[in-house]
Amino acid sequence: MRLVADLIRGKSVEEALNILHYSSKHASQVIEQTLRSAIANYLNTPGVGKIEPNQVFVKKITVDGGPMVKRIMPAPMGRAFRVRKRMSHLTIVVDELEMK
């Protein structure tokens, strides 16, 4: 997931959504959903005013480790291998572009 997050860090929202939509990585779908939610939340916050979605950019995106589910998988000669199914916490911060 961090590979996909690095692709959109600092990009405008339109460019980031295009990158995520056409990416073949599985994590891009999850990040695209979260980015769309972050944009909607930012545009609907009181005090932001009327701005266009093309004036918003991805200010910060972090992918941190989350809980891990541990399972056992059978292995040869009666052994057992541990399988760790990892999850992650995704944080996206969007902000308005400063026009000069």
Beta bridge partners of 91: 62
Beta bridge partners of 84: 70
CA 28 vs CA 15, 38, 57, 73, 84: distances in Å:
14, 15, 17, 28, 22
* pLDDT band with cut points at 50, 70 and 90 for residue 50: confident
Reported as half-sphere exposure (CB side, CA atoms, 13 A), residue 79 has a value of: 5
Question: What is the pLDDT at residue 100?
Answer: 55
Position with higher pLDDT, 18 vs 55: 18
* pLDDT band with cut points at 50, 70 and 90 for residue 47: confident
Q: Is the dihedral of CA 18, 96, 40, 9 positive or negative?
A: positive
Question: What is the pLDDT at residue 27?
Answer: 93
Q: Is the dihedral of CA 37, 38, 39, 42 positive or negative?
A: positive
Burial class (CB in 10 A: 0-12, 13-18, 19+), 11: middle
| Fold observed for domain 2-61+92-96 | Ribosomal Protein L22; Chain A (3.90.470)
What would the pLDDT profile of 7-38 be if each residue is shown by its tens digit?
Answer: 999 999 999 999 999 999 999 999 999 999 99
* pTM (two decimals): 0.82
- Tell whether the model's pLDDT for residue 42 goes beyond 80: yes
